[in-house]
Amino acid sequence: GCGNNAEKPKSDIKVAMVTDEGGVHDQSFNQSAWEGLKKAEKDFGIKVSYVESQQDADFAPNFETLLDAGNDLIWGIGYKLSDALLDAATNNPDQLYAIVDFSYGDKTPDNVVGVVFKAEQSSFLVGYIAGKMTETNKVGFVGGTAGDVIWGFDYGFQAGVQYAAKELGKEIEILNQYAESFSDVSKGKAIATQMYQQGADIIFHASGDTGNGVIEAAKEQDKWAIGVDRDQNYLAPDNVLTSAMKRVDVGVYNVVKDLVEDNFPGGQTVVYGLEEGAVGIAPTSDKHVPKEILEEVKELEKKIIDGEIEVPYNEETFKEFMKTL
Amino acid sequence: MSIDFNTKVIEMKNITKKFGDFVANDNIDLTVHKGEIHALLGENGAGKTTLMNILYGLYKPTSGEIYINGKKIDITNPSVAIENGIGMVHQHFMLVETFTVVENIILGMEITKNMGVLDIERATKEIEELSKKYGLHVDPNAKIHDISVGMQQRVEILKALYRGADILILDEPTAVLTPQEIDELMEIMKSLSDQGKTIIIITHKLKEIKQVADYCTVIRRGKKIDTVKVADIAEEDLAAMMVGRQVSFKVDKKEVDIGDVILKVDNLVVKDNRNLNAVNGLSLKLHRGEILGIAGVDGNGQSEFIEGITGLRPVESGVVTLNGKDITNLTPKEIIESGINTIPEDRQRRGLVLEFTVAENMILENYYKEPFSTKGRLNHESISNFAIELIDKFDIRPQDHNHKVGELSGGNQQKVILAREISNNPDVLIAAQPTRGLDVGAVEFIHKYLIEQRDNGKAVLLISFELDEIMNLSDRIAVIFNGKIIDIMDAKEADERTLGYLMAGGGTIDEAK
Amino acid sequence: MKRNRFIMIGISILLGLIVGAIVLLIAGFNPLEAYGVMIKGVFGSPKYISWTIIRSTPLILTGISVAFAFRTGLFNIGAEGQFIIGSLVATLVGYFVKLPPIIHPIVALLAGALAGALWAGFAGLLKAKFGINEVITTIMLNWIALYFSNFMVFTKAFKRPNKDASHRILESASINVLGKWKTSEAGKAFLVEHKFWKEFLNPPVNYGFIIAILVAMLIWYILKHTTLGYQLRAVGFNKDAAEYGGIDVKKNIVVSMMIAGALSGLAGATQVLGVSKETAILAIMEGYGFDGIAVSLISGNNPIGCIPAALLFGALKYGGSKLQPAIGAPFEVINIIIGIIVFFIAMPKLVEMIISYREKKRGGEVESIK
Amino acid sequence: MKALNDLGIILGISLMYAAPLMYTALGGVISENAGVVNIGLEGMMTIGAFTGAAVSYFTGNPWLGFLAAGLSGGALALLHAVACVTFAADHVISGTAINFIGPGLALYLCKIFFDGAAMTLPLDLNHKIPRPLDRFFSTNSFWNSVLNQYATVYIAFLLVILVWFILYKTKLGLRLRSVGEHPRAADTLGIDVFKIKYLAVILSGILAGFGGAALSIAVVSNYRISLISGQGFIALAAMIFGNWKPQGAMWGCLLFGIAQGLAVYLGGTSLKISSQILAMIPYIITIIVLVFFVGEATGPAANGIPYEKDQD
Ligand SMILES: Nc1ncnc2c1ncn2[C@@H]1O[C@H](COP(=O)(O)OP(=O)(O)OP(=O)(O)O)[C@@H](O)[C@H]1O
Ligand SMILES: Nc1ncnc2c1ncn2[C@@H]1O[C@H](COP(=O)(O)OP(=O)(O)OP(=O)(O)O)[C@@H](O)[C@H]1O
Ligand SMILES: [Mg+2]
Ligand SMILES: [Mg+2]
């Protein structure tokens, strides 16, 4: 039952989202998703709203709340919501759902769309920039809590650095540490400080609020940090070299657009990568990254889009990548 | 200096104090002249402490007026009292245990250098001088929890004098002192009054009143009975005024044959909280059919001795045998089950769970036994019945087994403990300070039960700081000093002087003579 | 006494809501509308009631856990960690152990409770043996539990591929009410006919609530009617007197912590078997233990009282989550309201003054009429 | 040389971790020595972290922010004091309430002042608390790693000395401790028990507020909801660990800091210890040290007991 929006006036279309514990103002993917919805509201004249979750157990009741509010499409933001969303979608086959950062693969129900981002691609690009720009031949990666999603950033970044190292014909060491927390800024700072002291001059983080500490360390030591998800340059304009962008807003916006145009891709997983302009490096990158390197990045992007380079996203694929390098 | 009858330092007029509906002070008048030692006498709960707390600004009177040196003063808090030259030594010492003597004395009147920094050196000097002047020896740098009760009392007096007190209130100052210390205190009081100080002393001991006081005001149930000149009245008459009937202080005790040894303590060593040997090679034998009194000054290892034999504190070395069975270092439960029960010295800390009802407290040692419980399930009915029976037998008031024990008066709390321990019918009953702070009626009652226990062929180990109690109740008296029994004598042969000499560590009986 | 306590709690709740209204007003929201949304959000449909109950269930148990420890003189800040360990172990048993239905959840619940008991018992042991303050140890154990759980979830056999969570428990371990029947043809047919039940059973209604009520009664019974409860309360009120009476104080401290831990562990287990079905990577403390402290305090440390207190808590949190989508008011106002309620509950003296002032005023009016 | 530098890194990290905890733990020391149990430190720290970051951001002056943080912590503590001192509330209940109110209010205000955002806007490096010894040592030297810290770190240590001095060497300290040990005795000597308790609780809030700011405007440069996640409780633990003494609390915080430093350091070595296990290390070390080196601790005698005057 997903083709009846055409008759509805657009101002009656309601779209809402459930955030994870980060909340809608998390300066990260929840916020980005909300920005996408707001843009859609403006562009299409629809109504949007959100519910924030306080703990994992809130996901399911929050989906119910939005269901009862009579929304046409309900978003779950973040892979953590995947189980709750699947349950809701199975119980309410007439309701449309979409999830960010998760794919149900072949088992995607007809009323669900998965939206995933090739974060490893943007990580690869920033890795390449780091590899090109390191003067100490040492770079670092700080992860939040280990897991599939963060591994994507980790291995994509490593691959990018190694790619640059190969090009330059030198060895670049990659320090790698997980804070086991997305919220411990002190720890992020401690780990980054240690990496800088050990000689790293560029650190990429994929660690939520913990990364705040990483950027802080960069500021203090006057070294480079690379942001994640959004353009984090504003957090330390002189020290955030670039950011590995994941345009959740673009993904969300596009799916809503499809809905409004009565074109909802139910039962599919939409993969957003470089090609769709949904991942990439931050627009402020030109502040600190030399033009030549940015141009090389452009070429790399093309190669990735063309499939010439397959960016790894976990240990296995990374090993394979290294073999082909 | 003699009494200056022209100067009324204190005049309390028509003082009434109500706690809720209860009238603790009922229209009391009190006049004290300069240089006088004035005694306040009355039963437990008569309202003596309340009256003095009002004078010291701790309680607001419900009605009535106070004049100090002829001027009407509204004593709203202790600071006002202190400013007007009143100092008070409280019934329960008001000392900060972790502070030194000096710190306790200067608290609230600190001498400081710049910016509120304490000048302990100067304070120490001043206190040393003060202590010399009034003959109140203290160790200025010792912590309160390390010094004897006698010294703590001197610290309390110094606290008042240090504040320039001209009027000194002493609330039951002798309750915890040895006879020698009491004598000393009497001397100190006389010398203070010679130096122009006015003293009000609260005490239950008529002897002391006769010894030092000039006048005595008797209070009964919140009402003032009379103020009398002490020199003109006999002790018996004072007592009669106090309780409203003639009283005899003799304990009825018939002769009983002393039986076999039931409890034997051999060379016992027990450590205190500071890890020092508080009980240091103590030996004694307790026989069936006797009350063995242990006389001694507080802090000579009595508490550790009791805790050692009852399993509350580890015994370092030595042996305790009960009925020939070694009970050294068994658990408290095992020791209770082998036949020792205790009336603990601190009834509120050790003896009772104040938040529990009377009934719940009655089964503290037996809750796991039939009929109070079956298979881990409490049997409320038999617990209640048991409690009701004991409440009746021991005349515990109010007669309500569901009453919280914490809301009972001290005497009734003590009766709950006594009822519980005696109902166990133990071979050995250890009674530590069983009548501390209780009024005459309650004391009589408890003494009766201790003697009954002995008459039934059981044994009682009585530990008390109250020499009169020891001498009246005991068949034999052992004196404890520095964690050892230094001598044992027949109660009939004991006299106060000798005991006092031994308790102060003077030596053995022979040396005393 | 009892009546007064109810009135006091009522007034505290009222004051909390008034302060909440002021906070909402300042931020430009209509408090009546906000509270209307919350009330409708909790009672508006059978399924909302189900959700409120589901939300409250773990809090009843962690509340009792904290209350039980308080009753025996211990401060269990560690309910959070015990909850985590209970969830973890229940998931392990729910996934790895193969047992028939009914037996499987019972075993998993017991295992979760046991794990919580051991976790908390360790803190009790340190207190009994070395005198280490349980407040410190339980705080430390909370964090250790969190990281330990994350560590376990990452072990190969346990981790679900492509998910930062463990495998889901087997269906046989579920404690959902009519879980299978709901999706069976017969069930579907019935539910289509019976709207109320369809709504009510729509959320993952589970036996956790019934378990929690039974446990509350059991704990109440233990405290009131057993020798164990007698001992524990004696130790809690006055351990010196308990020791003197022959009660093994140290053993009771350990036992008390173990029971408290078992309750929180059970809370974690019911949550897994009834709602989450898995253990996910924890990025932050989820707050079941800390909310349990508040629940316990609201109930006056009474196990039965924890049921209404947790329902209130669950209703505030669940109803509060509807503020944002409906009127755009931020959720934080709920935490402020809860804080104010607890704050006034801490001050019976003030609330009594308010009550007696009002009574006096009323009395005065009557007199002036005469 | 490498070993020395590594040690420098560990110590530097320890100090960074310990400083905010030290303020807060000192707050606990003051309050509890005056007999008021303060488990609301977490809430007071949170409101301080927000206020510090917000005021620094709007005024451009971190010291103003730091002071404001103290004031906001003190204001929240005032609530605790009213409950515990004037209304003889149960200290734990009131503290729990503070732990709901503080973070709730911080985030609520943050959203009002920062356009709905759950974090304040970051400060420039030169708008943060300064580092007095920056560029004083050569970069990457041992001394630089250890001593090139924000002023808040030095102030924390100065405060330990100051609090110690006040508690044990001054009139105020004597009175404060007497109130926590035996309020009745203090009362009979004309000391205003309520006033001292109020003062102590408010001071503890001020210090906890400082602790929050020491995180939000020194360790990092903004407040966000996750910034204070349990630090207040860790500080509470450190205070108990240190036997309710300022110097003891300091050691407690340092121990925890060093353990964190060690965990971070080990994570950067080639030892392949799982990061979750590493994350547990500080907490495990704290328990081990407690068991083997500290043992039983007892606070002030009248700590946590509401003091009521003449009840009539
Ligand atoms: N704060 C109080 N609240 C209620 N009742 C009180 C209070 N203080 C004293 N009382 C009651 O007032 C009465 C008089 O007490 P008070 O302490 O003055 O007696 P006392 O003559 O000093 O007795 P004792 O010889 O035992 O010291 C007692 O019944 C006591 O229970
Ligand atoms: N806070 C509360 N909320 C709801 N019901 C309560 C509460 N407190 C008590 N009750 C009810 O009162 C009944 C009696 O409780 P219970 O017997 O446990 O109290 P108690 O043990 O006498 O009280 P106390 O907590 O003072 O020991 C319970 O069965 C319960 O229904
Ligand atoms: Mg009395
Ligand atoms: Mg008295």
SS3 letters across chain C: CHHHHHHHHHHHHHHHHHHHHHHHHHCCCCHHHHHHHHHHHHHCCHHHHHHHHHHHHHHHHHHHHHHHHHHCCCCCCCHHHHHHHHHHHHHHHHHHCCCCCCHHHHHHHHHHHHHHHHHHHHHHHHHHHHCCCHHHHHHHHHHHHHHHHHHHHCCCCCECCCCCEECCCCHHHCCECCHHHHHCHHHHHHHHHCHHHHHHHCCCCECHHHHHHHHHHHHHHHHHHEHHHHHHHHHHHCHHHHHHCCCCHHHHHHHHHHHHHHHHHHHHHHHHHHHHCCCECCCCCCCHHHHHHHHHHHCCCCCCCHHHHHHHHHHHHHHHCCHHHHHCCCCHHHHHHHHHHHHHHCCHHHHHHHHHHHHHHHHHHHHHHC
For residue B50 the two structure tokens come to 């309340």
Question: Each residue's pLDDT tens digit in chain A (325 positions)?
Answer: 344 444 566 668 999 999 988 788 877 788 899 999 999 999 999 999 998 888 888 898 899 889 988 899 999 998 889 889 998 999 889 999 999 988 898 889 999 999 999 999 999 999 999 999 999 999 999 998 888 888 999 999 999 999 999 999 999 999 999 988 887 888 899 999 999 988 999 999 998 888 889 999 999 889 999 999 889 998 899 999 999 999 999 999 999 999 999 889 989 999 999 988 889 999 999 999 999 999 999 999 999 999 899 999 989 999 999 998 7
Alpha-carbon distance of C354 to C360, in angstroms, equals: 10
C6/C1 Cα distance (integer angstroms): 9
For residue B493, the model assigns a pLDDT of 87
B118 to chain D nearest CA, in Å?
5
Using CB atoms and an 8 Å cut-off, which of residues 88-147 of chain C contact chain D?
126, 130-133, 135-137, 139-144, 147
Ligand 2 in reach of C110 Cβ (< 6 A): no
Q: Does C19 share its domain with C159?
A: no
D265/D51: higher pLDDT: D51
| Percent of chain D surpassing pLDDT 70 | 99
Q: Which residue has the higher pLDDT, C325 or C234?
A: C234
Does A197 lie at the interface with D, CB-CB under 8 angstroms? Answer: yes
Which value, in Å, is the radius of gyration of the alpha carbons in chain C? 22
Residues C322 and C352 placed together within one structural domain of the fold: no
pLDDT (average), residues B477-493: 91
For residue B469, the model assigns a pLDDT of 87
For chain B, the domains span: 4-243, 249-339+427-513, 347-425
Tell me whether domains B4-243 and B249-339+427-513 share a fold: yes
pLDDT digits (tens, 9 = 90+) for C134-151: 988 999 999 999 999 999
- Cβ distance D219 to A187 less than 8 Å, yes or no, reads no
Report helix, strand or coil for A246. strand
Confidence of residue D1 (pLDDT cuts 50, 70, 90): low
pLDDT of residue C1: 44
Same domain, residue pair C3 and C96: no
Q: Is residue D239 part of a domain?
A: yes
Cα–Cα–Cα angle for A242, A247, A249, rounded to 5 degrees: 140
pLDDT of residue D224: 86
Contact B64, B226 (CB under 8 A): no
Residue D306 lies in a domain: no
Residue C274 has pLDDT above 80, yes or no: yes
d(CA C137, CA C154): 26
Report the CATH number at residue C117: 1.10.3470
Residues in chain A with CB shorter than 8 Å from the CB of C87 are none
Q: Which ligand is nearest to the CA of B171?
A: 4
Regarding whether C309 and C291 lie in a shared domain, the answer is yes
What is residue A313's DSSP assignment?
-
Cross-chain Cβ contact B94/D177 below 8 Å: no
Judgement on whether residues C322 and C336 belong to the same structural domain of the protein: no
Residue to substitute from C230, C233, C237, interface B, most B β-carbons within 10 A:
C230
Per-residue pLDDT band at C368 (split at 50, 70, 90): very low
* One domain for residues C369 and C224: no
Residues C355 and C276 in one domain: no
Q: What is the pLDDT of residue B247?
A: 63
Which domain covers residue C136, as residue numbers?
Answer: 48-328
Chain C residues lying within 8 Å of D229, measured CB to CB? 284-285
Nearest CA to ligand 1 atom 22: B49
In contact, B428 and B458? CB cutoff 8 Å: yes
Q: Which residue has the higher pLDDT, C117 or D301?
A: C117
Same domain, C324 and C342: no
Q: How many domains does one find in chain D?
A: 1
Nearest Cα neighbor of B150 from B170, B117, B174, B126 is: B174
C114 and C238 co-located in one domain: yes
Identify each DSSP E strand in chain A by its residue range: 14-18, 47-51, 73-77, 96-100, 112-117, 138-143, 173-178, 202-206, 224-229, 240-246, 269-272, 279-281
Number of residues written out for chain A? 325
- CA D233, chain centre distance (Å): 9
Same domain, C100 and C3: no
pLDDT of residue B1: 53
Q: Is residue C40 part of a domain?
A: no
CATH code linked to domain B4-243 = 3.40.50.300
- Calculate how close chain B gets to D191, using CA atoms only, in Å: 6
Measure the CA–CA gap between B265 and B309, rounded to whole angstroms.
8
Question: What confidence tens digit (pLDDT) does each residue in D136-175 have?
Answer: 777 778 888 888 889 999 999 999 999 999 999 999 999 9
- The verdict on C155 touching A (C-beta cutoff 8 Å) is no
> A154: closest CA among A165, A140, A134?
A140
Query: Which ligand has the minimum distance to the alpha carbon of residue B357?
Result: 2
As its CATH architecture, domain B249-339+427-513 has: 3-Layer(aba) Sandwich (3.40)
Q: Which of A56-60, C352-356, D40-44, D282-286 has the highest mean pLDDT?
A: D40-44
A116 CA to centre of ligand 4 in angstroms: 81
Residue A296, number of CB atoms within 10 A of its CB: 17
Total number of domains constituting chain C: 2
Which residues of chain D have a Cβ shorter than 8 Å from any chain A Cβ?
5, 8-9, 12-13, 16-17, 111, 116-119, 122, 125, 131, 140, 145, 215, 219-222, 224-227, 229, 260-261, 264-265, 267-268, 275-276, 278-279
Res. B330: pLDDT tops 80 = yes
C204 located within any domain: yes
Which pLDDT value is given to residue C293?
A: 93
- Cβ contact D175–B107 (<8 Å): yes
pLDDT at B506 over 70: no
- For residues C5 and C28, give the distance between their C-alpha atoms in angstroms, rounded to a whole number: 34
Which of B9-23, B176-190, B496-510, C91-105 is predicted with the least confidence, judged by mean pLDDT?
A: B496-510
The residue that leads in pLDDT, C162 or D220, is D220
Q: pLDDT band at B128, cuts 50/70/90?
A: very high
Judged by DSSP in three states, B374 sits in strand
**In this predicted complex, what is the ipTM?**
0.86
Residue C369 placed within a domain = yes
Does residue D300 sit within a domain? no
Q: What is the CATH number of the domain that holds D132?
A: 1.10.3470
| C99 part of a folded domain | yes
R_g (Cα) of chain D, nearest Å? 20
What's the domain range around D22? 2-293
H helices within B285-343, ranges in order? 302-309, 332-338
Q: Which has the closest alpha carbon to C113: C251, C226, C212?
A: C212
Verify that C136 and C248 share a domain, yes or no: yes
Return the axis-axis angle of helices C306-320 and C31-43, rounded to nearest 10°.
Answer: 120
Report whether pLDDT(D176) > 80: yes
Chains with ≥3 CB–CB distances under 8 Å to D: A, B, C
Q: Where does the pLDDT of residue C366 fall: very low under 50, low under 70, confident under 90, or very high at 90 and above?
A: very low
Determine contact, residues C89/C146, Cβ cutoff 8 Å.
no
CB B476 within 8 A of CB B459: no
- Counting from 1 in the atom list of ligand 1, the atom nearest the Cα of B17 is 12
Q: Do C97 and C2 fall within a single domain?
A: no
Chains D and A touch (3+ CB pairs under 8 A): yes
